[in-house]
């Protein structure tokens, strides 16, 4: 039976906002029909003009706020209205934390197994601002402004020229500004997504927690950078803590930021950061949590849930540069880490060696293939820790987790939707979620990270 959609494109409706969506947008209902309203806050009543209508939901934009939330504050960023990077600067930090906890509760209610799971209050970030150790800004050009470097505007590929991003560590702002000046001074061409002509695509900046080291990655659409030595010297003169300049070549006609090939133009192939008492090498292509100070808290929580005594064998699926693996290895008999990016595994092996950790072994490959292989070889871990990308774990991976019969599974997730789906699958496979700790890794944005403890039923 066809249900009647009660809203029409271009019309205005009064909507009471009751929740927050995946990207921090307000969620309300009009005659029981879901309407998403970006920048509207839970508790507010807004007049919204409908901009998109789909079968099961609509999207609207705020025309006026009829009833304002007491937690609504003035955003500090001058480009906040246009920029797509942050979604919650207009919400007090306490309210952001509360809304993120609620988002996890809502997601668990959705899969109907919430009843007896303890969902803790969100752990606040050590830094509310200037927490990002990694910046990835596209580079463009306009007639009016010349070379522009910054975040994409909300839901578009228009670049917002950004001289000061308040969630980036200061070094990354210095890098973005230096690269803008460099591209202008050396008259470098800029890649055009439509014609596929031009050289510079993105700049990626990375820095460590105390900002004593910095890496610039120039992502180019062609292998040759003209006047490259002069460019290296220019960047070195502009970025005082610079320790590495890398060129990444990306000839792909897609939205993926970095290609597979990296060339070191100057300095080191990596920067080094610290988590707890461990040191980590991070190269241009390696995944490393973007909020270092808070990653420490996240991993401490994963370690607490793993509840190791020193006798356990542990698998860390999706291990990146081995961060969680090495945290666990300090308290376990043996840890196996697996990861699909070979460079990250190289870093993980070097990280184990540099930290004098001998009970961690790292495997390169797709977890969906490696896990069943390890199962067939007879590996039966006591604990499994898994920290997959946003899409969550592949079904074969979850099945193998359960077949291995560990006592506990600790699931670290950056996406409550795929997490809820995987918890429901694991529940059917005999693993019950007991506790969830939401952790705020990304203040001012709608994202929430979670650590979940699941026990064998």
Nearer to ligand SAM, 98 or 279 (CB): 279
Work out whether 341 is an interface residue with ligand SAM (CB under 6 A).
Answer: yes
CA dist 60 and 44 (Å) reads 14
DSSP 122: P
| Interface of this chain with ligand SAM, residues 353 to 392, rule: CB under 6 A | 366-368, 387-389
CA dist 89 and 167 (Å) reads 10
Q: How many CB atoms lie within 10 A of CB 368?
A: 17
Work out whether 320 is an interface residue with ligand SAM (CB under 6 A).
Answer: yes
Work out whether 199 is an interface residue with ligand SAM (CB under 6 A).
Answer: no
Report whether 284 contacts 262 (CB < 8 A): yes
Of 250, 292, 323, 400, which one interacts with ligand SAM (CB under 6 A)? 323
Q: How far is the CB of 265 from ligand SAM (least distance, A)?
A: 24
CA dist 412 and 197 (Å) reads 40
Q: How far is the CB of 289 from ligand SAM (least distance, A)?
A: 5
Opening angle at CA 242, ends 241 and 247, nearest 5: 165
Nearer to ligand SAM, 79 or 393 (CB): 393
Stretch that binds ligand SAM, among 78-86, 106-114, 260-268, 332-340 (CB under 6 A): 332-340
Report whether 329 contacts 335 (CB < 8 A): yes
CA dist 390 and 199 (Å) reads 30
Q: Is 30 marked within a binding site?
A: no
Work out whether 338 is an interface residue with ligand SAM (CB under 6 A).
Answer: yes
Token pair recorded at residue 68: 């304002």
Q: Is 339 marked within a binding site?
A: yes
Of 167, 319, 352, 398, which one interacts with ligand SAM (CB under 6 A)? 319
Of 344, 348, 374, 433, which one interacts with ligand SAM (CB under 6 A)? 344
Q: How many CB atoms lie within 10 A of CB 210?
A: 11
Work out whether 93 is an interface residue with ligand SAM (CB under 6 A).
Answer: no
Q: Is 187 left (phi over 0), alpha (psi -120 to 50) or beta?
A: left
E strand or H helix at 324, and its extent?
helix 323-329
Nearer to ligand SAM, 348 or 436 (CB): 348
Instruction: Return the closest-CA partner of residue 409 out of 286, 311, 330, 305.
Output: 305
**φ, ψ (nearest 5 deg) of residue 429:** -85, 5
Stretch that binds ligand SAM, among 198-206, 270-278, 337-345, 349-357 (CB under 6 A): 337-345
Q: How far is the CB of 414 from ligand SAM (least distance, A)?
A: 6
Nearer to ligand SAM, 36 or 288 (CB): 288
Q: What are residue 249's DSSP bridge partners?
A: 220, 261
Q: How far is the CB of 222 from ligand SAM (least distance, A)?
A: 26
Work out whether 305 is an interface residue with ligand SAM (CB under 6 A).
Answer: no
Of 53, 257, 264, 340, which one interacts with ligand SAM (CB under 6 A)? 340
Task: Kindly list the distances between the CA atom of residue 219 and the CA atoms of 161, 194, 197, 203, 246, in Å, as whole numbers in the listed order.
Answer: 18, 17, 14, 6, 9
CA dist 407 and 397 (Å) reads 17
The position carrying tokens 């979604």 is: 87
Report whether 328 contacts 289 (CB < 8 A): no
Q: How far is the CB of 81 from ligand SAM (least distance, A)?
A: 30
Work out whether 288 is an interface residue with ligand SAM (CB under 6 A).
Answer: yes
Token pair recorded at residue 84: 């797509």
Q: Which residues are catalytic?
A: 414
Nearer to ligand SAM, 83 or 367 (CB): 367
Q: Is 382 marked within a binding site?
A: no
Q: Is 11 marked within a binding site?
A: no
Work out whether 219 is an interface residue with ligand SAM (CB under 6 A).
Answer: no
**φ, ψ (nearest 5 deg) of residue 112:** 60, 25
Nearer to ligand SAM, 108 or 302 (CB): 302
Binding site for ligand SAM (CB under 6 A): 287-289, 318-320, 323-324, 338-341, 344, 366-368, 387-389
> Annotated binding residues for S-adenosyl-L-methionine, as ranges?
289, 318, 339, 387
């Amino acid at each position: 039976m066809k249900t009647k959609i009660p809203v029409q494109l271009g019309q205005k409706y009064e909507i009471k906002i009751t929740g927050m969506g995946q990207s921090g947008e307000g969620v309300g209902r009009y005659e029981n029909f879901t309407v998403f309203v970006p920048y509207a806050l839970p508790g507010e009543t807004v007049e919204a003009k409908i901009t998109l209508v789909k079968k099961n939901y609509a999207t609207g934009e705020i025309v006026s706020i009829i009833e304002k939330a007491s937690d609504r504050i003035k955003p500090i960023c001058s480009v906040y209205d246009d920029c797509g990077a942050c979604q919650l600067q207009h919400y007090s930090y306490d309210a952001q934390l509360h809304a993120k906890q609620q988002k996890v509760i809502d997601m668990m209610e959705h899969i109907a197994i919430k009843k007896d799971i303890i969902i803790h209050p969100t752990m606040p970030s050590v830094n509310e601002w200037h927490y990002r150790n990694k910046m990835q800004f596209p580079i463009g050009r306009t007639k009016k402004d010349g070379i522009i470097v910054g975040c994409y505007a909300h839901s578009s590929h228009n670049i917002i020229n950004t001289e000061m991003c308040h969630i980036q560590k200061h070094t990354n702002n210095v890098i973005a500004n230096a690269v803008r000046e460099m591209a202008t001074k050396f008259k470098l061409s800029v890649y055009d997504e439509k014609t596929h002509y031009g050289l510079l695509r993105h700049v990626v900046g990375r820095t460590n927690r105390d900002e004593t080291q910095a890496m610039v990655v120039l992502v180019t659409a062609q292998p040759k950078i003209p006047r490259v030595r002069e460019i290296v010297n220019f960047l070195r003169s502009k970025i005082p803590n610079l320790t590495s300049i890398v060129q990444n070549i990306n000839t792909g006609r897609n939205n993926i930021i970095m290609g597979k090939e990296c060339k070191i133009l100057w300095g080191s192939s990596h920067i080094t950061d610290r988590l707890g008492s461990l040191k980590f090498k991070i190269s241009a292509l390696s995944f490393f949590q973007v909020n270092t100070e808070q990653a420490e808290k996240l991993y401490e929580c994963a370690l607490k849930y793993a509840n190791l005594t020193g006798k356990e064998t542990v698998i860390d699926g999706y291990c990146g540069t081995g961060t969680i693996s090495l945290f666990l290895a300090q308290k376990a008999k043996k840890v196996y880490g697996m990861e699909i990016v070979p460079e990250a595994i190289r870093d993980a092996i070097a990280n184990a060696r540099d930290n004098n950790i001998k009970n961690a072994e790292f495997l390169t490959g797709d977890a969906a293939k490696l896990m069943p292989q390890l199962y067939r070889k007879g590996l039966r871990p006591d604990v499994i820790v898994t920290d997959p990308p946003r899409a969550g774990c592949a079904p074969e991976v979850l099945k193998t987790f359960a077949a291995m019969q560990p006592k506990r599974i600790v699931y670290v997730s950056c996406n409550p939707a795929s997490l809820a789906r995987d918890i429901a699958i694991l529940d059917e496979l005999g693993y019950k979620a007991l506790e969830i700790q939401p952790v705020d890794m990304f203040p001012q944005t709608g994202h929430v990270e979670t650590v979940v403890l699941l026990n064998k039923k």
